[in-house]
Chains A and B, each alone.
Chain A
Amino acid sequence: MIEARGVSKRFVKKPDLAARLAGRLGADVREETVHALDGVTIAVERGEVVGLVGESGCGKSTFGRIVAGIMEPTEGTVFYRGQDLKTLQGGEAREAALQVQMIFQDPFASLNPRMRVEDIVGEAPLLHGIVARNERQDYIDATMRRVGLDPAFKRRYPHQFSGGQRQRIGIARALAVKPEFLVCDEAVAALDVSIQAQVLNLFMDLRRDLDLTYLFISHDLSVVEHISDRVVIMYLGRVVESAPAGPLFDGPNHPYTKALLAGAPTLDARRRIYEPVKGEIPSPLDPPSGCHFHPRCPHAMKRCREEAPALKEIAPGRHSACHLNDG
């Protein structure tokens, strides 16, 4: 349904005035480039829930934004139903943009504090001609009920709701334009456990009722394991492993995936000794050569320092980027 092929994103920090002056005086001043994404290819099938996992700075949010059309990739192409998003014009482009909606992590920052809920939810469908002006109130009521909010509260402002309810408002806003595809960027990370469970259940219900497809971005492995059909693991701008959820959690292939799974606390593993991965997450400003994970990898060899491993199929439907698989 959506396919991102070879998507790269670079953010360039131009030298500021002080740095330019220093440059004039002979200091070594360069543009700083962050390689947020480095040739990422991910395809999401219709009706599928794909979990995108990684730690801070791995580019998962940037990828979500590019897929949702909020950002342009530096290189690479995003296809929506086989069509290159960049080649679409006018009404077609608008149509495609409406079909992909995003739900953000922070329900406090992503809602306009000066708009009433009825306007937050009802503005876009009216503007895009999805609903007529005289049917608008009924439509808002129906959308609010769908996400478990009482329409009696539609005249309220976001600050009058709790965190979980605010997240529901964000979901209602996204659903109001009848999308097919939702990008959820850490959508439950800010919520308490009991509220998180309610929102996760809501996502599952919506998927069933509205036939939605999700790209579910999260750092929380247990959430991803719960909700996803397929999981993609990223590290410093690259995909290191991608596989169906079951096989991936039962037998991870890439050393980074193994480290992530071993380090994640779970309820059932009452393991008394943590065996941490060594080292810090390197800065994406200056990623390590070769395989980005090699400075922290217990199996790193000479080749890992020199050559970046390609993402290869290791079993049907499973891909991993590690030199160890070459035996």
Chain B
Amino acid sequence: MTELGNDRLVWIYTQMLRIREFEERVKRTFEDHPGVIRGHTHLADGAEASIVGSVATLNPGDQILATYRCHGYPLALGTDANAMMAEIYGRTGGLCGGYGGSMHLVDPERGFLGTSGIVGQGIPHATGAAYAAQIRKQGQVVLSFFGDGSTKQGAFSESLNIASLWKLPIVYVMENNSYNVVTRSEQEDANAAAGEPLAIKATAFAMPGVTVDGADPIAVYDVVGAAVERARAGDGPTLVESKVYRLSAHGNLIAPPGVPLHYPEHEAITVFGNREEYEAALRGDPVPRFRARLIEDGVLSAEQADGIGSEVRIEMQAAVDFGLNSPLPAAERALDHVYA
């Protein structure tokens, strides 16, 4: 284990729990408050260790860009959960005033520069932010988060080529959850079909590629941390393949208005009939796994861990209440912010 102090380990666990609880509350909103969440949401449950282990390596001033599955990163960066939930509920108190919703959270003051809802298209944005960081010479590093599906987009290849060529201070964190929506990686990825780790794609761009267990926040911290250090030193980008298991379906049900929205079961079950795969993933759930490890290592007592759990539940209940109580925007505000 890296020489992370106990405070830092507890911080990591707390952030993981906050993300899990936040996502559970989003999911429950579909049942408890039908109609409050519109459109499509995508949850980060199962990826908490990967997200927090990565974010834990950053310094103030570093930046993150991500995808539509974007609730976890700002929580770990310190964004107000109330404002995030209100955004997902489309309220004036939302992080982006109800203009963006679940897929488009932004918090530039905390370094969360934005997300793209289109697969792979945020990778060049992160690369451009890294170009800006390189020019400014203040030692900033950018983390670019995306899924395994993105790596078949030209935006991925084009960006990694330039980042390596220009030695940009960026770490590409591919969260490989083995599915692109309902398609399994080996059905759409030549490396996966050949039994190769997807990190091997880095070799085409003359940069290191590392695969890590994304369910282990310390392993992620070590691997991403080394890549961040390399980037900060001016030695260029790294591709990290972080293997995670998404514990919810790709997103909530896609249906026209009038049909109640909910979260179906994971595609391993609904599409591929592989309940055992999903149950094995549940047995490896990174949140209880890390809790057990911290207790075993004497970092936390069970009572302290329970106490953190209670605080997090209170925080996220408050976020739900805040979101529900925040007013809907005035309709004519829809014409604000079209141009700066």
A and B physically associate: no
B residues near A, CB below 8 A? none
A residues near B, CB below 8 A? none
